[in-house]
Amino acid sequence: MKPVISISGLTKTYAGGFAALKKVDLEIQQGEIFALLGPNGAGKTTLINIVCGIVTPSSGTVVADGHDIVRDYRSARFKIGLVPQELTTDAFETVWATVTFSRGLFGRAPNPAHIEKVLRELSLWDKRKTRIMNLSGGMKRRVMIAKALSHEPEILFLDEPTAGVDVELRRDMWALVRRLREGGVTIILTTHYIDEAEEMADRIGIISKGELIVVEEKAKLMQKLGKRQLTLNLQEPMAALPPALADWPLALKANGNQLQYTFDAHAVAPGDKPQDIPSLLRRLGELQIGFKDLSTSQSSLEEIFVSLVTDRAEPASKGAA
Partner 1 sequence: MSDVGFNRQGVWAIYRFEMARFVRTLLQSVVTPVITTSLYFVVFGSAIGSRMSRVGGVPYGAFIVPGLIMLSILTASISNASFGIYFPKFTGTIYELLSAPISFVEMILGYVGAAATKSISLGLIILATATAFVPVEIRHPFFMVAFLLLTTITFSLFGFVIGIWAKGFEQLQLIPMLVVTPLTFLGGAFYSIDMLPPRWRTVALFNPVVYLISGFRWSFYETADVGVGVSLAMTSGFLGLLLLVVGWMFKSGYRLKK
Ligand X SMILES: Nc1ncnc2c1ncn2[C@@H]1O[C@H](COP(=O)(O)OP(=O)(O)OP(=O)(O)O)[C@@H](O)[C@H]1O
Helix (H) and strand (E) counts in the chain: 10, 14
- Applying CB under 6 A, among 4, 5, 32, 43 the residue interacting with ligand X is 43
Local structure of 167: helix, strand or coil: helix
Amino acid residing at 180? L
Evaluate whether 286 touches 279 at the Cβ level (below 8 Å). no
The C-alpha angle with vertex 88 and arms to 83 and 94, in degrees rounded to 5, equals 95
Give yes or no for residue 85 binding ligand X (CB under 6 A).
yes
Give yes or no for residue 317 binding ligand X (CB under 6 A).
no
Considering only residues 223 to 252 of the shown chain, the ones binding partner 1 according to CB under 8 A are: none
- Applying CB under 6 A, among 10, 26, 37, 38 the residue interacting with ligand X is 38
Which x/- pattern, by CB under 8 A, does the window 51-70 give for partner 1? -xxxxx--------------
Evaluate whether 158 touches 189 at the Cβ level (below 8 Å). yes
Give yes or no for residue 192 binding Mg ion (CB under 5 A).
no
- 305 CB contacts (<8 Å, ≥6 apart)? 37, 194, 206
Give yes or no for residue 11 binding partner 1 (CB under 8 A).
no
| Smallest gap from residue 38 Cβ to Mg ion (A) | 9
CA 252 to chain centre: 34
Evaluate whether 236 touches 218 at the Cβ level (below 8 Å). no
Give yes or no for residue 104 binding partner 1 (CB under 8 A).
yes
| Smallest gap from residue 312 Cβ to Mg ion (A) | 18
Q: Which does 38 bind (CB under 5 to 8 A by kind): Mg ion, ligand X, partner 1, none?
A: ligand X
Give yes or no for residue 33 binding ligand X (CB under 6 A).
no
- Applying CB under 6 A, among 5, 28, 35, 45 the residue interacting with ligand X is 45
Amino acid residing at 23? K
Q: What are the two backbone dihedrals, phi and then psi, of residue 303, each rounded to the nearest 5 degrees?
A: -65, -40
Q: Under the rule (CB under 5 A), what is the footprint of Mg ion?
A: 44-45, 85
Q: Where along the sequence are the contacts to partner 1 (CB under 8 A)?
A: 14-15, 49, 52-56, 72-78, 80, 82, 84, 86, 88-93, 97, 100-110, 147
